Amino acid sequence: MRDPGGFFVRFGVISRALPEDQLHPFLRRRRRRRAGTEEPLSQFLAETLDLTARLVPSEAGSLLLDDPTVPRSRSPLTFVAAFGAAAPQLVGMRVPRGHGIAGHVYESGQLYTTAGPKHDPHFFEQVDAEAGFHTRSLVATPVRLEHQVCGVFELVNRRGRATFSARDIEVVELLGSYISRAILNSVDMLKQSELALRDELTGLGNVRGLHPDLEDAVRRAKKSREDLAVLFVDVDRLKALNDRRGHRAGSEALRRIGAILDTTIQTTTGADGLAYRFGGDEFVVILPGHDVESGTKMADRIRRAVAKGVRGPMRHGGTIPKLTVSVGVATLDAALTPGRATATKKAARLLAAADHALYRAKRQGRDRSARATRRDDKLR
Q: Which residues pair with 8 in a beta bridge?
A: 2, 15
Indicate whether 263 pLDDT > 50.
yes
The answer as to whether 202 is a domain residue is: no
Domain co-membership, 142 together with 259 = no
Indicate whether 249 pLDDT > 90.
yes
Domain co-membership, 174 together with 241 = no
Of 132, 161, 196, the last residue of a domain is 196
CB atoms within 10 A of CB 322: 11
Domain co-membership, 66 together with 139 = yes
Could you list the residue range(s) of the whole structural domain that residue 34 is in?
A: 7-196
Domain co-membership, 64 together with 143 = yes
* Predicted TM-score of the model (pTM): 0.58
Residue count (the chain): 380
Distance CA(82)–CA(84), nearest Å, equals: 7
What is the CATH number for 288?
Answer: 3.30.70.270
Domain co-membership, 288 together with 215 = yes
What is the bridge-based pairing of β-strands 369-371 and 274-279?
unpaired
Domain co-membership, 232 together with 187 = no
For residue 142, give every residue at least 6 positions away whose Cβ sits within 8 Å of its Cβ, in sequence order, or none.
105, 106, 108, 109, 110, 111, 149, 151, 152, 153, 176
Domain co-membership, 224 together with 161 = no
Distance CA(158)–CA(95), nearest Å, equals: 23
| pLDDT tens figures, 154-201 | 999 999 999 999 999 999 998 888 888 877 776 666 656 666 788 889
Domain co-membership, 106 together with 82 = yes
Alpha-carbon distance values, 169 to 90, 172, 341 (Å):
23, 5, 58
The answer as to whether 201 is a domain residue is: no
Distance CA(67)–CA(64), nearest Å, equals: 10
Q: Are 232 and 210 in contact (CB under 8 A)?
A: no
Of all residues in the chain, what percent carry a pLDDT higher than 70?
86
Mean pLDDT confidence for 219-244 = 95
pLDDT at 19: 67
Number of domains in the chain: 2
Mean pLDDT confidence for 79-85 = 87
Residue 105 main-chain phi, psi, to 5 deg: -65, -40
Residue 86 DSSP class: T
The answer as to whether 353 is a domain residue is: yes
| pLDDT tens figures, 125-165 | 888 888 888 999 999 999 888 788 988 999 999 999 999 99
Of 143, 172, 196, the last residue of a domain is 196
Indicate whether 336 pLDDT > 90.
yes
Of 196, 215, 250, the last residue of a domain is 196
Domain co-membership, 259 together with 287 = yes
Domain co-membership, 82 together with 135 = yes
User: In 3-state terms, what secondary structure has residue 340?
Assistant: coil
